[in-house]
Structure 1
Amino acid sequence: MSRNFPSRVDVAIVGSGPTGAAYARVLSELRPDLDLVTFEVGPLLADPPGLHVKNIVDAEERAAAQRRSEGPGALGAEDRRLRRAGTYLLPEGFQQPGEDGIPSLAMSSNVGGMGAHWTAACPRPGDSEVIPFIDDLDELLDEAGRLLGVSSHAFDDAPFADEVRARLASIFDDSRPTGRKVQPMPLAVQTHDDGRVTWSGSDVVYGEATRTNPRHTLVPEALVRQLRVHDGTVTGVVVRDLVDGSDHEVEAGQVVVAADGVRTPQLLWASGIRPRALGRYLNDQSQVIFAARLRDVSPRDAAQGEEPGKPAIAWQSGVSWVPFTDAEPFHGQVMQLDASPVPLAADDVVEPGSIVGLGWFCAKELQETDRLEFDDDRTDSYGMPAIRVHYTLTDGDRATLDGAREMVKRAALALGDPLDAEPITLPAGASLHYQGTVRMGPVDDGTSVCDPRSRVWGVDALRVAGNGVIPTSTACNPTLTSVALAVAGARDLATTYPKKEGSQP
Structure 2
Amino acid sequence: MTDKIPKANLFELILRLEKESGKALQVDCTVQQGTFLFESRTDNRRTTCEKVTTGSTFTVNAGSYGVIRAYPSPENQTTAPKGSVKVKTSAGQEATYPFPWEQPPASKLGNIDECKTQEVLYPDVMIVGSGPLGATYARKIITDKPAAKVMMVEMGAQESVVVGEHKKNSVAYQRDIDSFVHVIKGALSTLSVPMKGDSKSHPWPWAGGNHNSAWVQRGQNPDQNQYTNLGASAATRVVGGMATHWTCATPRQLKGLERSELFTDKEWEDLYKECEGYLGTSRNEFEGSIRHQLVKNTLKKSFTEMFPGTGREILSLPLAAKRDPQNPSFVIWAASNTILGNTVEKLHLYPNHQCTKLLTHGNEVQLATIKNLSLTHGRLYVCAKKNVVCGGAVLTPQILYNSGFRCEGTSGPVLPKLGKYMTEQPMAFCQVILHEELVKPLDPEHPTFPEWVTPELKAKIVEHRKKHPEDPLPFPLDDAEPQITTPVHPDWPWHTQIHRDAFSYGDVAPNMDSRLVVDLRWFGMVEPEEDNKVTFSDKYCDQFNMPQPTFNYVLQEAARERCHRMMEDMIRVSLKLGRYIPGSEPQFMEPGLALHVCGTTRAGTSRDDSCVDKDSKVWGVNNLWLGGNGVVPGMNASNPTLTSMCFAVRGANKLISEL
Backbone CA RMSD of aligned residues: 3.1
Residue of structure 2 equivalent to 1:364: 526
Q: Of 276, 293, 303, which residue of structure 1 is paired with 2:433?
A: 293
- Structure-2 residue corresponding to 1:143: 274
Displacement after TM superposition at 1:282 (Å): 1.1
Residue 38 of structure 1 corresponds to which residue in structure 2?
152
Question: Given residue 37 of structure 1, which amino acid in structure 2 is its aligned partner?
Answer: M
Unaligned runs of 5+ in 2: 8-118, 194-217, 407-414, 444-457, 469-474
Q: What SS is found at the alignment partner of 1:239? A: strand
Residue 317 of structure 1: how far off its partner (Å): 4.3
> Could you tell me which of 530, 545, 549 is aligned with 1:387?
549
The answer to whether residue 232 in structure 2 is matched with residue 100 in structure 1 is: no
In the TM superposition, 1:21-60 aligns within 5 A as 21-57=135-171
Report the CA distance between 1:417 and its aligned residue: 3.1
> Residues 248 and 361 of structure 1: is their aligned pair in 2 closer, same or farther, counting only changes over 3 Å?
same
Matches within 5 A, 1:179-190: 181-190=313-322
Asked if residue 112 in structure 1 is aligned to residue 244 in structure 2, the reply is no
Query: How far has the Cα of 1:330 moved from its partner?
Result: 1.0
CA–CA distance in structure 2, aligned partners of residues 126 and 406 of structure 1: 22
- 1:243 equivalent in alignment to 2:359: no
Aligned position for 2:623: 461
Q: CA deviation at 1:62?
A: 7.7
**Deviation at residue 234 of structure 1 after TM alignment:** 1.2
- Given candidates 122, 130, 139, the residue that maps to 2:259 is 130
CA distance in structure 1 between the aligned counterparts of 2:181 and 2:503, rounded to whole angstroms: 17
Moved more, 235-244 or 57-66: 57-66
Answering whether residue 402 of structure 2 is matched by residue 270 of structure 1, we say yes
Segments of 5+ residues of structure 1 without an aligned counterpart are 76-88, 498-505
User: Residue in 2 aligned with 1:197?
Assistant: 331
For 1:311 and 1:243, the matched residues in 2 are separated by 47
Deviation per CA, 1:50-70, whole angstroms, max 9, x where unpaired?
A: 011111446799899768745
Identity of aligned pairs, percent?
29
SS in 1 for 2:565: helix
Q: Distance in 2 between matches of 1:284 and 1:394?
A: 13
- Report if aligned partners of 2:524, 2:563 keep a CA contact under 8 Å in 1: yes
Partners of 1:291 and 1:344 within 8 A in 2: no
Decide which moves more: 47-56 or 15-24: 47-56
Would you tell me which structure has more strand in proportion to its own residues? 2
Instruction: Give CA-to-partner distance per residue, 1:424-458, whole Å, 9 cap, x none.
Output: 111011101111100101x2152211011100111
1:475 aligns with 2:637: yes
After TM superposition, give the deviation of residue 94 of structure 1 in Å: 8.2
Aligned length, in residue pairs: 473
Q: Is the 8 A contact 1:197 1:311 kept in 2?
A: no
> SS in structure 2 opposite 1:376?
strand
TM-aligned CA distance change 1:47 to 1:64, over 3 Å: farther
**Structure of greater relative contact order (alpha carbons < 8 Å, 6+ residues apart):** 1
In structure 1, what is the equivalent of residue 100 of structure 2? none
- The residue number in structure 1 matching 2:490 is 326
| Structure with max Cα Rg | 2
TM-score by length of structure 1 reads: 0.86
Alpha-carbon distance in structure 1 between the residues aligned to 2:245 and 2:432: 25
The one-letter code of the counterpart of 2:434 is L
Q: Deviations over 1:152-192 (max 9, x none)?
A: 11111011323312332332764555xx6220001111112
Asked if 1:227 corresponds to 2:341, the answer is: no
Work out which of the residue numbers 419, 431, 449 in structure 2 matches 1:279.
Answer: 419
Q: Structure 1 residues 493, 176: closer, same or farther in 2, change over 3 A?
A: farther
Whether contact under 8 Å (1:290, 1:344) holds in the other structure is no
CA gap 1:353/1:183 in 2 versus in 1, 3 angstroms: same
Equivalent residue number for residue 43 of structure 2? none
**C-alpha spacing 1:64/1:103, structure 2 compared with 1 (3 Å):** closer
Give the letter for the 1:437 counterpart. Answer: T
Is contact 1:324-1:476 (8 Å) kept? yes
Aligned to 1:415: 577
State the SS of the aligned residue for 2:538.
Answer: strand
1:399 maps to 2:561: yes
Contact 2:140 2:652 in 1 (8 A): yes
The residue type paired with residue 276 of structure 1 is P
Q: Do the aligned partners of residues 344 and 385 (structure 1) sit closer, same or farther apart at CA in structure 2, a change above 3 Å counting?
A: same
Residue 433 of structure 1 pairs with residue 596 of structure 2: yes
